[in-house]
Structure 1
């Protein structure tokens, strides 16, 4: 009788854990996206490719492009779109909304950012946490990973987050949209460097790569 009771409790706990990950954890990553929507990989690939083509056209033709030699521009380099790197994250807001962080810039200057929240997500079998910052009303995650300085820009990459995309303290982080700062293409720009805590031990092979042409 006692053993049956222990077995029943263990079974109940297992069911509760499974239900938690299905309904609250957002389902992790992969073709299900944020856990509630199903994403067709081929449609997603086309969408990402179109967005990248638009960015190439912007870099090639717009006066606000960071490129000094637009005529020699042959397009940015990217990892292939991969839904593995589109992950559901838990948003952990700071209780004190006035917490500030001094961010160092690539030219040695400094800027003050607001600590908005930590985001926690699962990738490659481990849970990771990144600091989300707010500056001039914009939310962004400045990060480095195991590809930084090798396959991607050594100064780190950025991932923007739309405030409206945060619902019930959940948000989808799509690292396929991770991009290099303008200073990667033109040293005349001063760009914020990722805080030390935003260094991921895993390789984020998604988003923009970097080829040093200087």
Structure 2
């Protein structure tokens, strides 16, 4: 389990490294999609159980929309906030709000720092599609502690809504995931990124 999880983490980190290196964001997205399908459909640490993996035919995705890719500054002037999120496998996950980003018509989202060894940026999203074509608890845009990092520099982040992906708890109820807090919930439908198959994953 430990070494296969290490392999999963390495593969995710390599996928996002290739995305950051791609000259064409859409080409990077296509490679990322193929990598996500390979991991979810065939890796021993997939969030899908054995039976679901046996019938897996791919993750549904919305078409790529270049207008939904942003390179935005992190506004750090807001009040700090700390949240402690209990999970089944990782104990209590500590989230500290470090700022906000504004993504065009989608609006403002809180940016969080995940506590723990090394730490990382965490940017979840629950948009107007949640509970219909996407998971009711929302999706993740960035989770750098686990390799999901699209890049950025000089206080800016690359936030591409086409890379919105479902957390593990979307695929199987045995998983517990930190979900989008109030500052990461918007009414605007974001028809991009991973979608649910008809009837959901379970």
TM-score by length of 1: 0.69
Alignment-derived partner of residue 135 in structure 2: 153
Counterpart Cα distance in 2 of 1:113 and 1:121: 21
Counterpart Cα distance in 2 of 1:199 and 1:209: 17
Where do residues 49-128 of structure 1 align in structure 2 (5 Å cutoff)? 49-68=30-49, 69=51, 70-93=53-76, 99-103=81-85, 111-123=93-105, 128=107
Task: Give, in angstroms, the shift of residue 78 of structure 1.
Answer: 0.5
Alignment-derived partner of residue 134 in structure 1: 113
Counterpart Cα distance in 2 of 1:122 and 1:180: 22
Alignment-derived partner of residue 14 in structure 1: none
Alignment-derived partner of residue 7 in structure 2: none
Instruction: Please list every run of 5 or more consecutive structure 2 residues that lacks an aligned counterpart in the other structure.
Output: 1-21
Alpha carbon RMSD of aligned pairs, Å? 2.8
Alignment-derived partner of residue 190 in structure 1: 176
Give the aligned length.
169
Give the direction of change, closer, same or farther, for the CA distance of 1:88–1:46 in structure 2 (3 Å limit): closer
Counterpart Cα distance in 1 of 2:62 and 2:78: 37
Where do residues 162-201 of structure 1 align in structure 2 (5 Å cutoff)? 165-201=151-187
Counterpart Cα distance in 2 of 1:106 and 1:210: 23
TM-score by length of 2: 0.73
Q: Does 1:203 align with 2:183?
A: no
Q: Retained in 1: the 8 A contact 2:78–2:99?
A: no
Task: Give, in angstroms, the shift of residue 89 of structure 1.
Answer: 1.9
